[in-house]
Amino acid sequence: MDYALLTLKCVLCDREYGPHEVRYTCPDCGEVGALDVIYPLDSTRHTDSPLSIWQQRDLIPIADNPLPGLKAIGGTPLIMPDALAHLAQKVGVRELMIKNDALNLTGSFKDRASAMVVAHALQNLDTHVIATASTGNAAAALAGCCAAVPEAQAVIFMPASAPEAKIAQVIVFGAKVILVDGNYDRAFDLCTEACNEFGWYNRSTGINPFTTEGKKTVSFEIAAQLHWDVPDVVIVSVGDGSIIGAAYKGFKEMFDRGWIARIPRLIGVQSSEGDALVYVWENNLTATMMTPRPSTTLADSISSELPRDRAKALRGVRDSQGALVRVPDEEILKAIPAFASQTGVFAEPSSAIVFAALKPLLETGMIQASDRVLLLVTGSGMKDIRNAMRSVAALKPSPTAPTLGSIRNQIRARDDKRYE
Ligand SMILES: [Zn+2]
């Protein structure tokens, strides 16, 4: 869609702005006043082009063809209910599905947002330096997307404590990397200050409306892959809240245009060791009332003390009749091998959490045995090998003598039927 025809609208006060009037958040509401990009209602549903974030071209802010290096972003596999029937029965739901966004360009869902922001910066704003603060995945995604587009340059602010694989990714992609001696929230503020000083375009989650435009495309893909018969429930991990907020926007845009019959209930999951949005949800507070809450979770991708996309996240959960729940770090660790060994999907802690949430959600009645449930996997387990190894520490075998005899002892002596 031609960017000049779009409107930016504040999620909190409904004030509308022209496409070039503001860049980030609502000037009246401040940083918490996230903006929605509003499209004409008479959009056409496209099913012809390959599945990717660019497919529904009437509902993205890019008029031209996608940048060649970013053409294949999105279009990730959806593992269908028939492949997971056994697990669905074991868990106790009618159908289970997995949208596997770990298979994106840089191994995470964040490629959707970064690719859209890079395209927007180059094609609509004529800006080529793009900066972001991130605990890792958004950083790797922006660095990777900029590496795929010769004219774009990434500047990355990340906490020095980010997992090594994620730091390695941004460096090998050739981004300018600033490892901040502080937490994510400090890196976020520093990135904002630097963008103001140097005129870079700020991709940081929560303040950039176009990250939502990239992230919402997951809902378009889920609908298309299920022939527009969407699940009852979509379970999403929540840190800053931008993915759940964007998933809602995608479903709502399709619902408003009659492409789908209903909006799935969106259930957000946080760690008990970093539960700022669950706390707000349980206490019926609003986004503007939120104050920082400490976060120590091992799931670095969803560790946020003051979730930046809180307004959109709360709207998405409330308007879809969803919920926000917490799962302890201990259960997240257990879920990494449990999920991988039963599905073939190796998820990082912040994605394994959605599988860990199934049990408490069923026990509390937040999901029913009759529900068709989709789990959104947002990051590859390869991103955080340290926690993956922690999760299977007890299973790590000691070295075996290199003889067939020692193998025979291990297999036969234990009478393990699986190997017969
Ligand atoms: Zn406002």
Instruction: Give per-residue pLDDT as tens, 197-233.
Output: 999 999 998 889 999 999 999 999 999 999 999 999 9
Q: What is the pLDDT of residue 173?
A: 96
List C-alpha distances in Å: 365 to 75, 224, 237, 395: 32, 29, 19, 33
Confidence at residue 166, expressed as pLDDT on a 0 to 100 scale: 82
Looking at residue 163, its pLDDT comes to: 81
What pLDDT does 178 receive?
95
Q: How far is the CA of 15 from the centre of ligand 1 (A)?
A: 6
153 contacts: CB under 8 Å, gap ≥ 6: 128, 129, 130, 146, 175, 176
Between 67-76, 178-187, 251-260, 353-362, the lowest mean confidence (pLDDT) is in 178-187
Task: Give the distance (Å) from ligand 1 centre to CA of residue 414.
Answer: 65
Helix (H) or strand (E) holding 313: helix 310-319
Looking only at the bridges linking them, the beta strands covering 265-271 and 323-327 are parallel
Region 386-404: mean pLDDT is 92
Q: What percent of the chain has pLDDT over 90?
A: 86
Residue 7 Cα to ligand 1 midpoint, Å, equals 14
Q: How confident is the model at residue 59, as a pLDDT?
A: 98
Antiparallel, parallel or unpaired: β 7-10 and 16-17: antiparallel
Cα of 316 from ligand 1 centre, angstroms: 17
Q: Give distance in angstroms: CA of 14 to centre of ligand 1.
A: 6
What pTM value is reported for the model?
0.95
Task: Give the pLDDT confidence of 104-141 residue by residue, as tens digits.
Answer: 999 999 999 999 999 999 999 999 999 999 878 999 99
Higher pLDDT, 353 or 165: 353
Q: Which residues pair with 8 in a beta bridge?
A: 17, 37
What 3 state SS string does 319-336 have?
HCCCEEEEECHHHHHHHH
Q: How far is the CA of 50 from the centre of ligand 1 (A)?
A: 37
- If you measure from the C-alpha of residue 201 to the centroid of ligand 1, how many angstroms do you get, rounded to a whole number? 21
Ligand 1 centroid vs 286 CA: distance in angstroms?
14
- Kindly report which listed range (95-104, 160-169, 172-181, 280-289) carries the lowest average pLDDT score: 160-169
Output the CA 29–ligand 1 centroid distance in Å. 4
How many angstroms separate the alpha carbon of residue 290 from the centre of ligand 1?
16
- Domains observed in the chain: 78-107+212-393 (3.40.50.1100)
**Per-residue pLDDT tens for 21-57?**
999 999 999 989 999 999 999 999 999 889 999 999 9
pLDDT at position 419 over 80: no
CA of residue 10 to ligand 1 center, whole Å: 5
* The amino acid at 300: D
Average pLDDT of span 345-374: 97
- Cα of 5 vs centre of ligand 1, distance in Å, is 20
pLDDT at 415 over 70: no
334 CA to centre of ligand 1 in angstroms: 42
d(CA 21, ligand 1 centre) in Å: 13
